[in-house]
Amino acid sequence: MRNPLSNVVQEMKPSGIRKFFDIVSEMKDAISLGVGEPDFETPWHVREEGIYSLEKGRTFYTSNSGLKELKIEIAKYLARRFELKYDYSREVMVTVGGSEAIDLAIRAMVNPGEEVLIPMPSYVSYLPCVQLAYGVPVVINLKAENEFRLTKEELLEHITDKTKLLILPFPNNPTGAILRREDLEEIAKVCVEKDIFVVSDEIYAELTYYKERHVSIAEMPGMRERTVLINGFSKAYAMTGWRLGYACAPEQILSQMVKIHQFAIMCAPTTSQYAAVDALKNGDDDVRNMTQSYNQRRRFLLNEFKDMGIDCFEPYGAFYVFPSIKKFGMTSDEFATKLLEAEKVAVVPGTAFGQCGEGFVRISYAYSIERLKLAMSKLRHFISNL
């Protein structure tokens, strides 16, 4: 029999997080700090709207690019929260989570052999998506001394004649780093000058704790026409299981993304789309309350680390901290494994998000303060015995 598999797929590495997941899920009463989703349930009024849509029998496909009402609300939201203006009818589409939007954007824009810049550590799916599109992933290893921000110099160093696209994963999973307006201004200048497009994954845009709100690169001069903005409902509205995200881009790019979506997916789940309309209309207070809670937990963890003598830069986004464990003389993998064995506390090795995550672990604060307190006392015990 011939090999039934595609070479590209075979060469793709499975997610590094998988191995660790298997160990942790076997363990009884492990205290996990390993999740990448909110601990809050979806606000009740949003769930109720989903239930109502089912009661009304709204169980049919929506148009490929999404429910008109939802696209209108998305456009309004982006105008209200950021300085972003998109035409809901031609420049907005609803996707199955932010993940689908990432895949669509890359496939719509990358020709075989073209290079895609991927800053790392970052979310696990950018690199495989580029490979599946026959593009060439070019990793930019972000540095702890820059607090894992992407600098203009790092960007310039990696640009070649073949560079087509830059993935901009900020606020960042797993580091919690954000890009400030002044960082974005510099990056934007380079992109315009070198004629590079950007896929800006802003799924954590609502979850920032800096004195200024999140800024999108699409707000920078000359960037709107070369940016695919990706966001969604999972993180801000605690709607991970609803699988709903969206992409906004100039019509030239977006119409091609809709084409792929039309053939591969058809449309995002209808129930979720109706619920999401309510999230955008009535959810601002929920988002603010959840963000306040995350911020309190973030401060709590940073204070604990300081107290324990663990180095950690102050992250201003998402719900992760990314402390350095280099001083304990172990790899990230060893540290995470030993911590799990000794104290049953699960953290994710930084290397699951790229080789430059070596020496760091990702700790999620999508947990109650009580839970974090328990975990930190165990971590304290662990490192005092090293």
- Residues of the shown chain interacting with another protein in the complex, contacts defined by CB under 8 A: 15, 17, 20-21, 24-25, 30, 32, 34-37, 39, 41, 123-125, 173, 292, 295-297, 299-300, 303, 346, 348, 352-353, 369
Instruction: Name which of 109 and 124 has its Cβ closer to another protein.
Output: 124
Q: Least CB distance from residue 359 to another protein, whole Å?
A: 19
Instruction: Name which of 17 and 217 has its Cβ closer to another protein.
Output: 17
Residue 187: count of CB within 10 angstroms of its CB? 24
Instruction: Name which of 27 and 342 has its Cβ closer to another protein.
Output: 27
Distance CA 59, CA 17 (A): 35
Q: Least CB distance from residue 240 to another protein, whole Å?
A: 8
Q: Least CB distance from residue 353 to another protein, whole Å?
A: 8
Distance CA 224, CA 217 (A): 8
Q: Least CB distance from residue 261 to another protein, whole Å?
A: 22
Distance CA 343, CA 378 (A): 6
Instruction: Name which of 66 and 317 has its Cβ closer to another protein.
Output: 317
Nearest Cα to Cα of residue 286 among 36, 33, 48, 35: 48
Nearest Cα to Cα of residue 236 among 179, 193, 189, 294: 294
Q: Least CB distance from residue 210 to another protein, whole Å?
A: 12
Q: Least CB distance from residue 330 to another protein, whole Å?
A: 19
- The answer to whether 155 touches 117, Cβ cutoff 8 Å, is yes
Q: How is residue 154 annotated by DSSP?
A: H
- Of the CA atoms within 13 Å of residue 136, those in its CB half-sphere come to 12
Instruction: Name which of 129 and 346 has its Cβ closer to another protein.
Output: 346
Q: Least CB distance from residue 40 to another protein, whole Å?
A: 11
Instruction: Name which of 89 and 368 has its Cβ closer to another protein.
Output: 368
Instruction: Name which of 24 and 140 has its Cβ closer to another protein.
Output: 24
Going by their DSSP bridges, the two strands 136-141 and 115-120 should be labelled as: parallel
The residue written with tokens 């800024």 in the block is 215
Residue 129: count of CB within 10 angstroms of its CB? 23
Residue 380 in tokens: 């304290």
